[in-house]
Structure 1
Amino acid sequence: MKRKDIIEFEVDKMEFGGTTVSMLGNKEIHMKGGISGQKVKAAVKKARSKKAEVKMLEILEKSPIETANPCKHFGICGGCTILSVPYEKQLEIKERQVMDLFLNQDIFGFQFLGIEGSPQDRLYRNKMEYTFGDEMKDGPLTLGLHKKGRHIDILTVDGCYLVDQDFIKVLTSTVEYFDEKKLPYYRCMSHKGYLRNLVVRKGINTNELMVNIVTSSQEDFDMTEYKEMLLNLETQAEIVSILHTINDGLADAVQCDELRVLHGRDYINEELLGLKFTISPFSFFQTNTKGAEKLYSIARDFVGDHENKVVFDLYSGTGTIGQVMAGAAKKVYGIELIEEAVVAANNNAKLNGLTNCEFVAGDVAKTVKNFKVKPDLIIVDPPRPGVHKDAIRDISGFGAKEIVYISCNPKTLVLDLVEFKKYGYEVEKVKCMDMFPNTPHVETIVKLKKVN
């Protein structure tokens, strides 16, 4: 087996993160994508004596476990890679993958509470970020998601199962409107063009909708007619915010050089476990609202009795989990790197009448050691790379009896748990929460206890 060879094989094992491992002869085949039981054709990217990395070219035969009806975009869109697998089976797969990661790091002896399914496995997303482009060179304007394995081709996902009809109406009416105007879409290679992105956010519990059209400054186009078109749509939710973001950044990411309010306000409201939150166009908020309520309820159960305790909320974002804990706590201190999120966290605390919450901006690895107060309980909810080793050392140095770790990446979670063990923390219990049905991702909540 050598580079560029074309091979065919049956997918054996799905690993966390959307990769698979299969055996072909005496070689271990690693591939991005795939479902156990599929027969596939793939091209060899790298080959060694006992291991090869390959790229899937074609699915020759479906897996026996693919018995669910996927959307019309499945297999073309790069989004829901396991939508064809029934939801209960998806949960079994994710649970096994997480447990394998724990076992691979020799983490034993804890209470495993299984996996909690999302309240909705479809129509669950409260935010979508769409991109303008075309599906083929010089084709008609499209607006949606990248095709699977393609950096340029954009598919208009008007049959997406992850969002409700309000998202679909805004998406389709927007692409039709701008196609008629013959405005050029922004090309990342040449940095020429006008139309860049459409971001839609919805308050699931408040029924408020935000539409944010993102363009470059290369055209002087009046958005008044577009705004009126949106307001005349028969959406279930009330459109309370229509925004126009100017983005001249070179990166293929939504950023703001200028924000123009075309209608209403520059935020929507959302409610979570009896608390109120304002969500700006660029602030982080869990994309599965009903799932987030379950996630934070699990974390609160793991925390248990925290009456009159001092709580550290590290990587606090907009302060959601800290405020969920604040009702009984003596004091909640939050640390978050992104200053805008810290401002939002403090504003949300005021909105909820929580006077015992204080959120500060800073890098957790550098800021936490400057805190003079000793926490009774520490909650960490880091980004995908996990917790820096220096931060683990300083967090452990406080000697808190309990740490609750909320992870969006069990691969880095288990490595961090090994580090925490060096400072006398053992895993007491673990539970998974599926926030992202039909995708390879899952959240994991861990309770650590100080044993020496």
Structure 2
Amino acid sequence: MAKQTAPVTKNETITLTFEDLTHEGSGVGKINGYPLFVPNALPGEEATVKVIKVNKNFGFGKVLEFLKTSPERIEPVCHVHCNGCGLQHMSYRLQLEMKMNQVKNAMKKIAHLEHVPVHPIIGMDNPLHYRNKVQIPVGEKNGELITGFYQKRSHNIIENTETCTTHNEVINEVVKTVRDVANRLGIQAYNEQAHNGVLRHIMVRTGEETKDIMVVIVTRTDKLPHKDELVKQLKESHPNIKSIMHNVNHKRTNVILGEKTKVLFGEEYIHDKIGDITFAISAKSFYQVNPSQTKVLYEKALEYAEIGSDDVVIDAYCGIGTISLFLAQKAKKVYGVEVVPEAINDAKKNAKLNGITNAEFIVGEAEKVMPWWTAQGLKPDVIVVDPPRKGCDEELLQAMIEMKPMRIVYVSCNPSTLARDLRILEDGGYRTKEVQPVDMFPGTGHVECVSMLEYEVSN
């Protein structure tokens, strides 16, 4: 039998009409049924395309010239090509439609839940300047410090920190101030090839409601040169800075923060509010980067949980207690579990900060702790999970099934792993009632979802 070959070859130039989008936002066009994925192309557009890679079942290309453009194409508000937010060429309406389709396709093709309602995605009124945290690498160019994100698939810094349209605008100003002051003081940038120099990264966190600002200066060295003058000038430039931290990372690594962090000014926390709950946020705290949409997400999770005053709730992957403390406002008791000890310490502090006494937090892997809780006689009415992108560990899913709570609320940042896990929970006796997508990251291909499942009691 003759080996099947692709109808195009590498470096060939073709004319292509685009029919669809991938979940990452690339245009999809077909030559004799063979799909080519092309960034920066939209459905309905026609372009001259250079084929840059050919696989057996699909290929990749790049646009040389558009012959016909879509009415959904818009002028990007940012012209720095750092690939941090690669969907700025498409209208926000089309971004939301693409993400909605991504969730629907995952429910249909992976979870095999064609008839589960996927509600219209909740977008933002203003999908710009939403990020409350940034970690920016520092480099040198012509003897001057530069800051910006890495170019895709490289460690070349693209200078963009003064114009980034996803950051809170105050963050852009603070990063520029730190860089300029450090430059004037002669603080050297870290050189990752030679593993020498000083200043590796600048992290800035802000409180949406409080307007608090935290600056974290990450160095290779234990000593931060001219630290007193640096702190003085930062405080003078930005009176809302409540915390300046020095983090030391000696290692040759892509991990940004090292293990040692000390206070240079203020406290080790800043504060923010989501709804009625105040959160203390440290340099290493996991805290959602889009605070206005986080409130939407958590309110939907609380609605789906349908918590009564006598209900016992488990929050797996509880982090610093963000969802747990929302749940505790209505529940009899909330148990939170998280593998990161620092996060559990923060969760306990946040409970105390808000006067919440019916939330208990424990360090450990949820898939190990939950069977132990079962052995102790704990029977939750509701379980809430908000795992990382890889989804839930299968042991955890089985532990949830064995606990038989009446409801499970699954918060996810990855529709594919969500759908995979919903299938397992469905096979374990649960029924997915509805799914609500929320756009937490405009301009990118990422989408969050909240799903509600109920236990189907056998007759």
TM-score normalised by the chain length of structure 1:
0.91
SS of 1:374's equivalent?
Answer: coil
AA partner of residue 238 (structure 1): N
SS of 2:136's equivalent?
Answer: strand
SS of 1:45's equivalent?
Answer: strand
- Once the two structures are TM-superposed, the CA of residue 387 in structure 1 deviates from its matched residue by 0.8
SS of 1:278's equivalent?
Answer: strand
Q: Deviations over 1:274-331 (max 9, x none)?
A: 0111000111000011111111011111112422101010111111111101112111
Query: How many Å separate the matches in 2 of 1:60 and 1:444?
Result: 35
**Counterpart for residue 31 of structure 2:** 24
**Counterpart for residue 194 of structure 2:** 190
Q: Deviations over 1:339-379 (max 9, x none)?
A: 11111111111111111111111112222111130111111
- Once the two structures are TM-superposed, the CA of residue 33 in structure 1 deviates from its matched residue by 6.5
User: Is the contact made by 1:313 and 1:379 (CA closer than 8 Å) also made in structure 2?
Assistant: yes
Query: How many Å separate the matches in 1 of 2:91 and 2:33?
Result: 32
1:12 to 14, 19, 26: 19
**Counterpart for residue 245 of structure 2:** 243
SS of 2:225's equivalent?
Answer: coil
Query: How many Å separate the matches in 2 of 1:281 and 1:439?
Result: 25
User: Is the contact made by 1:73 and 1:157 (CA closer than 8 Å) also made in structure 2?
Assistant: no
SS of 1:346's equivalent?
Answer: helix
Query: How many Å separate the matches in 1 of 2:223 and 2:398?
Result: 52
Aligned in 2, Cα 1:225/1:410: closer, same or farther, shift over 3 Å? same
**Counterpart for residue 151 of structure 1:** 155
**Counterpart for residue 110 of structure 1:** 116
**Counterpart for residue 406 of structure 1:** 411
- Once the two structures are TM-superposed, the CA of residue 260 in structure 1 deviates from its matched residue by 2.8
SS of 1:115's equivalent?
Answer: coil
Query: How many Å separate the matches in 2 of 1:349 and 1:253?
Result: 29
22-31 or 54-63, which deviates more: 54-63
218-227 or 428-437, which deviates more: 218-227
Aligned in 2, Cα 1:368/1:7: closer, same or farther, shift over 3 Å? farther
1:276 aligns with 2:278: yes
AA partner of residue 191 (structure 1): H
Query: How many Å separate the matches in 2 of 1:22 and 1:310?
Result: 51
SS of 2:118's equivalent?
Answer: strand
386-395 or 163-172, which deviates more: 163-172
Query: How many Å separate the matches in 2 of 1:12 and 1:39?
Result: 12
Matches within 5 A, 1:140-289: 140-217=144-221, 221-233=225-237, 235=238, 238-289=240-291
Query: How many Å separate the matches in 2 of 1:389 and 1:191?
Result: 40
Percent of pairs with identical residues? 30
1:93 aligns with 2:101: no
- Once the two structures are TM-superposed, the CA of residue 172 in structure 1 deviates from its matched residue by 1.8
What is the Cα-based RMSD across aligned positions, in Å?
A: 2.4
Query: How many Å separate the matches in 2 of 1:5 and 1:314?
Result: 49
AA partner of residue 239 (structure 1): I
Aligned in 2, Cα 1:273/1:30: closer, same or farther, shift over 3 Å? same
Query: How many Å separate the matches in 2 of 1:134 and 1:6?
Result: 39
User: Is the contact made by 1:35 and 1:82 (CA closer than 8 Å) also made in structure 2?
Assistant: no
Query: How many Å separate the matches in 2 of 1:61 and 1:386?
Result: 42
User: Is the contact made by 1:111 and 1:430 (CA closer than 8 Å) also made in structure 2?
Assistant: yes
User: Is the contact made by 1:142 and 1:156 (CA closer than 8 Å) also made in structure 2?
Assistant: no
AA partner of residue 23 (structure 1): K
Aligned in 2, Cα 1:270/1:109: closer, same or farther, shift over 3 Å? same
1:44 aligns with 2:52: yes
Query: How many Å separate the matches in 1 of 2:178 and 2:58?
Result: 44
**Counterpart for residue 432 of structure 1:** 437
256-265 or 305-314, which deviates more: 256-265
1:71 to 77, 80, 89: 77
Query: How many Å separate the matches in 2 of 1:294 and 1:268?
Result: 22
Query: How many Å separate the matches in 2 of 1:404 and 1:423?
Result: 15
1:445 aligns with 2:447: no
**Counterpart for residue 352 of structure 1:** 354
SS of 2:58's equivalent?
Answer: strand
Query: How many Å separate the matches in 1 of 2:108 and 2:301?
Result: 23
- Once the two structures are TM-superposed, the CA of residue 222 in structure 1 deviates from its matched residue by 1.8
Aligned in 2, Cα 1:395/1:183: closer, same or farther, shift over 3 Å? same
**Counterpart for residue 130 of structure 1:** 136
TM-score normalised by the chain length of structure 2:
0.90
Query: How many Å separate the matches in 1 of 2:347 and 2:122?
Result: 27
Matches within 5 A, 1:324-335: 324-335=326-337
Query: How many Å separate the matches in 1 of 2:441 and 2:412?
Result: 13
- Once the two structures are TM-superposed, the CA of residue 425 in structure 1 deviates from its matched residue by 1.0
AA partner of residue 127 (structure 1): K
SS of 1:260's equivalent?
Answer: strand
1:383 to 380, 384, 388: 388
1:417 aligns with 2:425: no
Query: How many Å separate the matches in 1 of 2:342 and 2:40?
Result: 35
- Once the two structures are TM-superposed, the CA of residue 119 in structure 1 deviates from its matched residue by 4.8
SS of 1:112's equivalent?
Answer: coil
User: Is the contact made by 1:134 and 1:154 (CA closer than 8 Å) also made in structure 2?
Assistant: no
SS of 2:423's equivalent?
Answer: helix
AA partner of residue 109 (structure 2): N
Q: Deviations over 1:161-209 (max 9, x none)?
A: 1223321221222222333445432233332221110100001111101
SS of 1:253's equivalent?
Answer: coil
SS of 1:232's equivalent?
Answer: helix
SS of 1:141's equivalent?
Answer: strand
Aligned in 2, Cα 1:61/1:286: closer, same or farther, shift over 3 Å? farther
Matches within 5 A, 1:297-376: 297-371=299-373, 372=376, 373-376=378-381
User: Is the contact made by 2:307 and 2:331 (CA closer than 8 Å) also made in structure 1?
Assistant: no
Aligned in 2, Cα 1:449/1:66: closer, same or farther, shift over 3 Å? same
- Once the two structures are TM-superposed, the CA of residue 431 in structure 1 deviates from its matched residue by 0.7
SS of 2:119's equivalent?
Answer: strand
103-112 or 173-182, which deviates more: 173-182
Query: How many Å separate the matches in 2 of 1:58 and 1:263?
Result: 52
User: Is the contact made by 1:188 and 1:252 (CA closer than 8 Å) also made in structure 2?
Assistant: no
SS of 1:114's equivalent?
Answer: coil
Query: How many Å separate the matches in 1 of 2:34 and 2:11?
Result: 14
User: Is the contact made by 2:433 and 2:451 (CA closer than 8 Å) also made in structure 1?
Assistant: yes
Aligned in 2, Cα 1:33/1:149: closer, same or farther, shift over 3 Å? farther
Unaligned runs of 5+ in 2: 1-5
